[in-house]
Structure 1
Amino acid sequence: MIFGGMNSSYSLFPPQVLNCTVFLLQRATGFTFLTTKVTRIPHVKCFINQNGQSVSNSKAAQNKIVKKVGKNEHHLWKKRDSAGSGKKALNLVKIISELPNEKEAVYGALNKWTAWETEFPLIAAAKALKILRTRGRWLRVIQVAKWMLSKGQGATMATYDTLLLAFDKDKRVDEAESLWNMIVHTHTRSISKQLCSRIVSLYDHHGMQDKIIEAFADMEELGVRPDEDTVRRIGRAFRKLGQEEKRKLFLKKYQCKWKYLHFNGERVRVRRYACNEDGSTE
C-alpha cells in the first residue's frame, strides 16, 4: 500500500491485524512512500502517528485470550449429579431403621422415599446400602438390595456381593444359592473373581463342601481363576470329600508355586512345596 503525506494519522488496518512493520523510503522528488509488512493476528489495531511510527492498541494487546466454553445442556428428566446424595442416604437409613421387620412396611417406606424423584436415586440408594453394611444391619441390607433389584436398579457385581455377604451373615443359604444360580445364568461374561470367592466362602462357612465343588465347576466354565484363599478352600473341600487325586490335580493347576515368608524382618519369596503324609513333595 502507498500513501502520500505525513501530516495526519491514518487507520491502516482492520481489527484483524496485530502487528505492523513500517519502512520509509525517500525519493528525490520529495514524495514519501510508506511500505508496510503485515502479520495477521486478530483483535489489535495499528496506526501511524505524525512521526511515521507504528502504534498498536496496547489495551487490546494486553487482553488475555478467553476460551469459549460450550453451553451446558440441562435435561429436566435426566438429572445425573450426585448433589445431596449423602443426606438422602442418611435419611433413608434413618427411616428404615425405625420400622418393624416387615417386608410390606419397609417396601412401602422405600417407595415413598422415591415418590417425588424424577429418576431413581441410584447413588443415594447405593450409599445407604454401604452404610447399612458398615453398621452390620444385614436384614436391612437384604431388604434394600432386593427392593432395588425389584425396581430394575443396581444390578451390579457390587450389589450382588453385598447381598451374598448379607445372606451369609443372616444364614440364608438357600436364597444365596438361588441368587448365585441367577447370576451364573444371566451374567455369563462379567462375573468377577471377588464374587466367585464370596460364594465359595459362604459355602465354606456353612460346611457345604459339595456346593463348593459345584461353585468351582461354575468358575472353570466361566474362565475365572480362583485366588489364593479360594484355592485353599476348594482344596480343603476336595480332601473332606475324600477326593485326594482330584485335590492334587487341582493344586497342581491352580496353587501358586511361590509363597512369601518373613525372615529376619524381611519379606522373602520362596518356592512352595505341598507335602504328602509320606513326606514326598508334589
Structure 2
Amino acid sequence: MVFISLPHFVARAMLLVSLCCYVYEGSWERYCCCYCYLLKVILFIIQITMWKPMLMAKLVRQFSHLQPVRAQPVFYIHSQTTVTKTGEDIYLGGPISKRQIGENVSRNEKVNFLVRILNELNDDSKESVYNALDAWVAWEKDFPIGRLRQALVGLEKEQQWHRIIHVIKWMLSKGQGTTIGTYGQLVRALDMDHRVEEAHEVWVKKLAVDLHSVPWQLCHQMISVYYRNNMMERVIKLFKGLEAFDRKPRDKKIVKKVGDAYEILGLVEEKERVLEKYKSLFNETSSSKRPTRTSKKKSKG
C-alpha cells in the first residue's frame, strides 16, 4: 500500500518544488536546493516505512520476556505493605499475617501477653495503657471481651489496681462490657486504689439507679467501702434505699455494719431497731451450727 502511493507523493512534491521556484523568480540554485531537501525527505520516509515492521518485531521479541519480571516486584511490594510488625510478632519471634494471628495464637497466650505488656510498662499513665490496648486489639476481628476479663483477673492477682482501672475505662470507652459486674469491678479497683470519691460517683451514676435489681454482693461491697472509709451517712442512706425496695440483707455482717454506723452517729435506737428486725440472721447462723455438733455426736455413738 505504501509503494503504490509513493509515485503520487513524489509527483506532488515535484509540483510543490516548481511552485516554489516560480515564487522565487525561477532561480536555478533555489530549485536545486529545494529538490535536494525533497529527496532527503523522501528517502527518510522510505526507510522508516520499510524498516518499521522489522524494528517493531525485534523490540517485541526483546521485551516480551520482561513481563513476568515486572509483575514480581509489584506483588512483592504488596505483600510487604500488608504485613506489619506488632507486639505479637515480637512475642512469637517473627512477622506473621493478620489471618495467621487469629489462628496460630492461643487464647491463653494472648491473655498472658497482654498482662505481661501492662506489667512491663514503664509509664503508668492513661495514654500508655490505652496505646498498649489499642495495639493488642488491632488484629482482632471481634472485640475480645472474654480475654480482657481474663487479663483483669490476672492483674487483680498482682494487685495492679491502677492499671485495672485504665483497662476497664478503656473497655467502656469502646462501648464494651457495660454490665453490672464490670462497674462493680471498677468500684472495687477504685476503692483499692484509694479513690473512694470516684468509686462513689460510679456507684451513684451506674448502679444506684437500679437498687431494686443490683445484686446483694455489690451492695455489700459498697456498704463495706463506705464503712471502711468512715462514711457512715452513706452507709445508712444506701441501706435505707435497699429497705425501700423491701430488700432484706442476706448476711449478718451487713446488719452489723449498719448498726455500727447508727451507733457512731449517735442513733442508738435505730441500731436496736435494725438488730431486732434482722435478728433472724444471727439466729440462723447459730442454729445452723448446732445440727453439725449433734450429727457429730450421733456419728460417734
Question: What is the distance in 2 between the residues matched to 1:108 and 1:175?
Answer: 23
Report Cα offsets for 1:203-257 as digits up to 9, x if no partner.
1111111111122123224443222211111111011111112112222223325
Q: 1:93 to 1:224 in 2, by over 3 A?
A: farther
Instruction: Look up the SS of the partner of 2:286 in the other structure.
Output: strand
Shift of 1:112: 1.5
Q: 1:220 to 1:152 in 2, by over 3 A?
A: farther
Structure-1-length-normalised TM-score: 0.60
Question: What is the distance in 1 between the residues matched to 2:247 and 2:134?
Answer: 38
Report Cα offsets for 1:164-185 as digits up to 9, x if no partner.
2212211101101001001235
Matches within 5 A, 1:190-201: 190-201=213-224
Matching of residue 90 in structure 1 with residue 112 in structure 2: yes
Matches within 5 A, 1:223-242: 223-226=246-249, 227-242=251-266
* Aligned equivalent of 2:286: 260
Higher fraction of strand: 1
Q: 1:183 to 1:85 in 2, by over 3 A?
A: same
Report Cα offsets for 1:140-192 as digits up to 9, x if no partner.
11111111112121222332222222122111011010010012355455311
Count residues with an aligned counterpart.
186
Question: What is the distance in 1 between the residues matched to 2:198 and 2:152?
Answer: 19
* Aligned equivalent of 1:249: 273
Q: Which runs of 5+ in 2 are unaligned?
A: 1-104, 296-301
RMSD: 2.4
Which has the greater radius of gyration?
2
Question: What is the distance in 2 between the residues matched to 1:98 and 1:222?
Answer: 47
Question: What is the distance in 1 between the residues matched to 2:259 and 2:128?
Answer: 44
Instruction: Look up the SS of the partner of 2:170 in the other structure.
Output: helix
Question: What is the distance in 1 between the residues matched to 2:241 and 2:111?
Answer: 36
Partner of residue 157 from structure 1, selected from 180, 195, 210: 180
Q: Is the 8 A contact 1:145 1:163 kept in 2?
A: yes
Q: Is the 8 A contact 2:118 2:129 kept in 1?
A: yes
Question: What is the distance in 1 between the residues matched to 2:243 and 2:174?
Answer: 32
Q: 1:161 to 1:246 in 2, by over 3 A?
A: same
Q: 1:167 to 1:223 in 2, by over 3 A?
A: farther
Shift of 1:125: 0.2
Structure-2-length-normalised TM-score: 0.57
Matches within 5 A, 1:1-282: 84-99=106-121, 100-184=123-207, 186-226=209-249, 227-255=251-279, 256-258=281-283, 259-260=285-286, 266=293
Matched residue type, 1:250: V
Q: Which runs of 5+ in 1 are unaligned?
A: 1-82, 269-282
Higher normalized contact order (CA 8 Å, seq sep 6+, divided by chain length): 1
